[in-house]
Chains A and B, each alone.
Chain A
Amino acid sequence: MRNSVGGGEVAHRMIIEPPARVVDPGEIALPDGYRMQAVATGLTFPTGVTFDDRGGVYVVESSYSYGEVFTTPRLLRIEPDGRATQAAGATMNGPWNGVAFHGGSFYVSEGGVLAGGRILKISPEGRIQPLVSDLPTFGDHHTNGPAVGPDGMVYFTIGTATNAAVVGPDNYQFGWLLRKPGFHDIPCQDITLTGENFSSTNVLKPDSNKPVRTGAFLPFGTPSERNQVIPGRVPCNGAVLKVPASGGKPELVAWGLRNPFGIAFTRDGLLYVTNNGYDDRGSRPVWGTADHLWLIKPGTWYGWPDYSGDRPLAGSRPPGKRELKSVLAKHPNTPPKPAASFDVHASADSFDFSRSDSFGHVGQAFVALLGDQAPAVGKVVRPVGFKVVRVNVSDGTIYEFAVNRGKTNGPASWLKTGGLERPVAARFDPSGAALYVVDFGAVFMDAGGAMPQEKTGVLWRISRAGAMRGADAR
């Protein structure tokens, strides 16, 4: 069996003082005619970028990263010289996973790993008003987005608590199962279970040798029964929701997603999301499933936890593990075909659609691929992701757009260059002429989990050579 070779993998935790990040756009390859520059460096866990109505550039710093590292969530204004000044800050309830500007206010998705997710409205003066609170986001995945739709509503997403609906030892390793031992996934509508249960060590009672059995959509150590009905409710996990920009009760748009991280509308008002696929981990490991780009049709169920794309998991078998069976006795609908399928474990995250001929590829999606988190998510032969790709949504074809130079693909820290580390968001400026890429920074991985590196985040800018605008012209 081959060893895993993920882009963040280190042999053991002896990186006491990792080397400072070097930033060199020349180490990043782009298609002919494009150029790239670093706009801001030294950011800590940045996740999103937006632009106010005066052309100001703003970034959110997440304040939380896998690896259980907590800092303060912040909205930062990026000054023309690259300095970052704080526009708003909040108490520690990250991760802040994205930001949008609309009608004179900022909208932020607060992940809510400690106190529950929220959608925040932030005034230009930094005053914070929660539009929605108490979202069920204490687990593996959090509140993501947001994006303002053509109807003026604020659309956001909530990821699932678990990998594949079963709480297990992997969630203990994430850190949240000890904080919230009763937390589990919540369906958006009533579901009926097949009664499949999954045995694991009792990580909550380390002295106990007795394994526990856990069913889907139930707390750790609680087995399910055949035909057991789990009541659905909103807000729920693995869903796209929307709320009025002035606040109110969240409404369900679509569900059956795993970790719908990126969310964007086309010029024609079509809603797309990126969805991080299953991992080969936990009590119900799933192997070899892609991340997807979905065209969201209201009211549709997109397959989690029994499908990947439009293919059922039942009958598949992760290498060396048990064959998968459905956990839902009846599926709300057969999932449609995804708009595109990304690299397994690439972590397809925030994205935007090109809308200007001055950048090109109008109507195509530019997607940030954060990169694998092997070995925690499963094994890979070579680093996956760590780049920006464009997607022709009309036929699902995917093309590299910004990648690190070198004989093989990988993050800058792995290649020992000054290129991209972990792109987490791609968004066009208001003119559509420049694509800003938020680079989360270095995250090293080993069997014990993630080791995120503070102050290694970067904001990049890509434009066509000769199109001197914005930061270029300063």
Chain B
Amino acid sequence: MRLHYVALIAALGSLACGTARRGEPLAGSLNLAGDEAGRRGHLVFTKYCHSCHPGGEAGLAPAINDKPFPDFLKKFQVRAGLGAMPAFKTHVIFRTGIE
């Protein structure tokens, strides 16, 4: 099961296209006014994801922004982990943090 999952991730990753760069100087400012879920997600990302995937770009770990994975797969990877990436269980990142 694990191998299938890794293979699926790799296959989808190969479809990646475009740039992962979405920082304010290149893509404009992030406007989350009135978007409570977005604001909450931004804080969760900052706390748990940014240091390895800075701004969603590659760093210690691969980029996220340019991967065309469906949301359910991204959530699954957050919960299950992959390779060196730790699993973030629901007591660490609450369900509302990645909805």
| B80 at the binding interface (Cβ < 8 Å) | no
Q: Which residues of A contact B25 (CB under 8 A)?
A: 29-31, 400-403
Minimal beta-carbon separation of B90 from chain A (angstroms): 18
| A64 at the binding interface (Cβ < 8 Å) | no
Of B51, B57, B62, which is in contact with the most chain A CB atoms at under 10 Å from its CB?
B51
Minimal beta-carbon separation of B78 from chain A (angstroms): 16
Q: Does B84 lie within 8 Å of A382, measured CB to CB?
A: no
Q: Does B47 lie within 8 Å of A344, measured CB to CB?
A: no
Q: How far is the CA of A384 from the CA of B51 in the complex (A)?
A: 10
Q: Does B30 lie within 8 Å of A341, measured CB to CB?
A: no
| B67 at the binding interface (Cβ < 8 Å) | no
Instruction: Decide: A408 near B46, CB < 8 A? Known: A344-B52, A380-B59.
Output: no
Produce 1/0 per residue, B8-27, CB < 8 A to A.
00000000000111011110
Q: Which residues of B contact A402 (CB under 8 A)?
A: 25
B24, B26, B47, B60: the one contacting A343 at CB < 8 Å is: B60
Q: How far is the CA of A342 from the CA of B84 in the complex (A)?
A: 19
Q: Does A400 lie within 8 Å of B55, measured CB to CB?
A: yes
Q: Does B24 lie within 8 Å of A381, measured CB to CB?
A: no
Q: Does A319 lie within 8 Å of B62, measured CB to CB?
A: no
Q: Does B54 lie within 8 Å of A381, measured CB to CB?
A: no
Q: Which residues of A contact B20 (CB under 8 A)?
A: 408
B42-64 CB contacts (< 8 Å) to partner A: 42-43, 46-47, 50-52, 54-55, 57-63
Q: Does B58 lie within 8 Å of A408, measured CB to CB?
A: yes
Q: Which residues of A contact B30 (CB under 8 A)?
A: 399
With CB as the reference atom, state the residue of chain A lying closest to B18: A407
Q: Which residues of B contact A398 (CB under 8 A)?
A: 46, 50, 54-55
With CB as the reference atom, state the residue of chain A lying closest to B48: A341
Q: Does A397 lie within 8 Å of B63, measured CB to CB?
A: no
Q: Which residues of B contact A313 (CB under 8 A)?
A: none
| A346 at the binding interface (Cβ < 8 Å) | yes
Q: Which residues of B contact A287 (CB under 8 A)?
A: 84
| B31 at the binding interface (Cβ < 8 Å) | no
Q: How far is the CA of A290 from the CA of B60 in the complex (A)?
A: 10
| A409 at the binding interface (Cβ < 8 Å) | yes
Q: Which residues of A contact B26 (CB under 8 A)?
A: 29, 400, 403, 405
Q: Which residues of A contact B61 (CB under 8 A)?
A: 381
With CB as the reference atom, state the residue of chain A lying closest to B30: A399
Instruction: Decide: A343 near B50, CB < 8 A? Known: A380-B60, A381-B62.
Output: yes
| A345 at the binding interface (Cβ < 8 Å) | yes
Q: Does A396 lie within 8 Å of B58, measured CB to CB?
A: no
B64-89 CB contacts (< 8 Å) to partner A: 84
Q: Does A384 lie within 8 Å of B60, measured CB to CB?
A: yes
With CB as the reference atom, state the residue of chain A lying closest to B85: A288
Q: Does A341 lie within 8 Å of B47, measured CB to CB?
A: yes
Q: Which residues of B contact A397 (CB under 8 A)?
A: 42-43, 46
| B96 at the binding interface (Cβ < 8 Å) | no
Minimal beta-carbon separation of B56 from chain A (angstroms): 11
Q: Does B24 lie within 8 Å of A31, measured CB to CB?
A: yes
| A268 at the binding interface (Cβ < 8 Å) | no
Q: A290-B51, A343-B52 are in contact. List 20 more A-B contacts (CB 8 A).
A: A29-B25, A29-B26, A31-B29, A32-B28, A288-B51, A288-B84, A342-B51, A344-B59, A345-B59, A345-B60, A381-B61, A381-B62, A382-B63, A395-B43, A396-B43, A397-B42, A401-B25, A408-B21, A408-B58, A409-B54
> A-contacting residues of B (Cβ < 8 Å)?
19-21, 23-26, 28-30, 42-43, 46-47, 50-52, 54-55, 57-63, 84
- What are 30 contact pairs spanning A and B, CB under 8 A? A29-B26, A30-B25, A288-B52, A288-B84, A340-B46, A341-B50, A343-B52, A343-B59, A343-B60, A344-B51, A344-B60, A345-B60, A378-B60, A380-B59, A381-B59, A381-B60, A381-B61, A382-B57, A384-B54, A395-B43, A396-B43, A397-B42, A398-B55, A399-B30, A400-B24, A403-B25, A403-B26, A405-B26, A408-B58, A409-B54
Instruction: Sort A-B residue pairs by CB-CB distance and give the 8 closest, nearest first.
Output: A400-B23, A382-B58, A29-B25, A290-B51, A343-B54, A344-B60, A384-B59, A381-B58
> B-contacting residues of A (Cβ < 8 Å)?
29-32, 287-288, 290, 319, 340-346, 378, 380-382, 384, 395-403, 405, 407-409
